[in-house]
C-alpha cells in the first residue's frame, strides 16, 4: 500500500492527537496497559454486578463497606500478633489533588465536547450537522431498546478496545474502508444512471417576470 493512502474519516493527524493526546488517549490506546486493564476489569465487574446479578447500588455500597471494615479490623488486630505494620487508612484515601485533577479533566473534556456540538450546530457544515443528528437519533433508538447499563457498558467496552485495535491494524482498516467507500460510490453511480436519471420529470415552470 502506498504512503498516500487515505485515512479513515479523512483524518490527517495521528490517532493519539485526535483523541486529545493526554492521559485519556493513553488509556484508550493501551499505552498504560495496567491502568487500561484495571479500568476494563472494573467496568466488566460493575456490569456483571448490576446487570447480570441485578445488584442495587445501595446494597452494593453497604456490602463493600462491610468487607472493607472486616478487612481493616482483621488487619489491625492481627498486625500485633503477626508482627506486621498496621494499616494507615489516610494514605489509602485519594488526596484532594487527585480529585481536583479528575474534576478539571472532566470539566475540560465536557467543555471541549460542548464546543464541538456548538460548532456543528452552527450550520457551517450541513453534511456534518445532518450526520450528527442521524447518529444521535440512532443512539437514542438503541438506548430505547436496551437498558442504560448495557448501553453504557457497550460504549465503554468499544472505547477501550476499538481505538487500540484500529491503531494496531490501521493500514488494513483504512484500506478496507477505502475499498468499501469506493464500492458504495460506484453503486450509487449505477443506481443514479440506471434508475434515478430515468425517472420522468415534469417540465420546469418558467419564472414569472415582474
Find the range with the poorest average confidence among 8-12, 56-60, 133-137.
8-12
CA distances (Å), origin 164, targets 29, 130, 137: 4, 28, 27
Output 8 or 138, whichever has higher pLDDT: 138
The torsion region of residue 14 among left (phi > 0), alpha (psi -120 to 50) and beta comes to: beta
What local confidence, expressed as pLDDT, does residue 185 receive?
Answer: 80
Q: How far apart are CA 109 and CA 24, in angstroms?
A: 10
The 10s digit of each residue's pLDDT in 131-178 is: 888 888 887 787 777 777 777 888 888 888 888 888 888 888 888 888
The whole-number average pLDDT for the span 105-126 is 80
User: What are the residue ranges of helices labelled H in the chain?
Assistant: 15-18, 23-28, 33-47, 57-82, 89-92, 96-121, 126-145, 148-168, 170-194
State whether residue 100 is helix, strand or coil: helix
The whole-number average pLDDT for the span 169-195 is 80
The whole-number average pLDDT for the span 42-64 is 83
Radius of gyration of the chain (CA): 27
Return the percentage of the chain with pLDDT > 90, whole number. 0
In this predicted structure, the answer to whether residue 186 has a pLDDT above a threshold of 50 is yes
What burial class does residue 187 get, using C-beta atoms within 10 Å of its C-beta: 0-12 exposed, 13-18 middle, 19+ buried?
A: exposed
Provide the b/e sequence for 120-149 (b: ≥16 CB within 10 Å).
beeeeeeeeeeeeeeeeeeeeeeeeeeeee
Count the neighbouring beta carbons within 10 Å of the beta carbon of residue 176: 12
The 10s digit of each residue's pLDDT in 198-210 is: 666 555 555 455 4
Q: How far apart are CA 16 and CA 170, in angstroms?
A: 12
Amino acid at each position: 500500500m502506498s504512503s498516500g493512502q487515505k485515512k479513515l474519516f479523512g483524518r490527517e493527524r495521528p490517532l493519539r492527537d485526535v483523541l486529545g493526546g493526554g492521559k485519556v488517549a493513553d488509556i484508550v490506546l493501551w499505552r498504560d496497559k495496567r491502568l487500561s486493564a484495571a479500568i476494563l476489569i472494573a467496568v466488566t465487574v460493575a456490569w456483571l454486578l448490576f446487570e447480570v446479578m441485578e445488584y442495587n447500588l445501595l446494597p452494593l455500597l453497604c456490602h463493600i463497606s462491610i468487607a472493607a471494615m472486616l478487612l481493616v479490623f482483621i488487619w489491625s488486630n492481627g498486625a500485633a500478633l503477626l508482627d506486621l505494620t498496621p494499616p494507615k487508612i489516610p494514605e489509602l484515601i485519594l488526596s484532594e489533588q487527585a480529585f481536583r485533577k479528575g474534576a478539571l479533566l472532566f470539566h475540560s473534556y465536557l467543555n471541549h465536547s460542548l464546543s464541538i456540538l456548538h460548532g456543528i450546530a452552527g450550520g457551517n457544515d450541513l453534511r456534518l450537522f445532518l450526520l450528527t443528528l442521524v447518529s444521535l437519533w440512532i443512539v437514542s433508538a438503541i438506548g430505547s431498546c436496551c437498558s442504560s447499563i448495557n448501553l453504557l457498558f457497550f460504549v465503554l467496552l468499544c472505547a477501550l478496545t476499538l481505538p487500540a485495535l484500529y491503531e494496531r491494524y490501521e493500514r488494513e482498516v483504512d484500506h478496507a474502508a477505502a475499498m468499501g467507500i469506493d464500492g458504495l460510490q460506484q453503486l450509487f453511480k449505477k443506481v443514479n444512471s440506471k434508475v434515478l436519471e430515468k425517472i420522468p420529470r415534469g417540465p420546469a415552470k418558467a419564472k414569472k417576470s415582474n
